[in-house]
Amino acid sequence: MTKSTKICLWSSPRNISTAMMYSFAQRPDTTVYDEPLYAHYLKVTGYEHPARQQILQAQCQDGEQVVRDLILNEPTAKKPITFFKQMTHHLVDLNEDFLQQTKNIIFIRDPQQIITSYAEVLPNVTIQILGLKSSGLYLTSLLLEQPMKTVCL
């Protein structure tokens, strides 16, 4: 088993993070995971996402277990880099200390563009759903706590 470098890309929805994830997936040295904390977020918040049931069935709903067993101790790490596409608002009710053990990229986009884009998909958009407040809080925290391990784009 290889000890891989853990990279978490933190973003709000509608922020081209999926394109970045696909870019990392093209690298032969990288394993990619798409929003592993999504089921945890849906369970904790009760948010009625259109694909809620499929996500809850497909993923582990215990966020602390996801952090412990997948993000920090990926059991199948066969490549030197593990990339996690994450949404900032999925961190609800989780101990965030694990962020000190990962390299972090924070994607920032003009909030008006995010709101306009998201409203085309789901009309009842809120700042919590978009993760805009949490993006700013995590950016500030990570830049202060680990400036050499955090990139802001």
**Structural domains counted in the chain:** 1
d(CA 92, CA 44): 8
pLDDT of residue 2: 58
Looking at residue 95, its amino acid is N
Instruction: Report pTM.
Output: 0.80
Q: Which helix (H) or strand (E) is 7 found in, with range?
A: strand 5-11
pLDDT of 22? 95
Q: What is the pLDDT of residue 42?
A: 96
Domain at 129, CATH number: 3.40.50
pLDDT on residue 3: 79
- Which regions in the chain score pLDDT beneath 50? none
**For residue 88, what pLDDT is reported?**
86
Domain membership of residue 77 as a residue range? 5-152
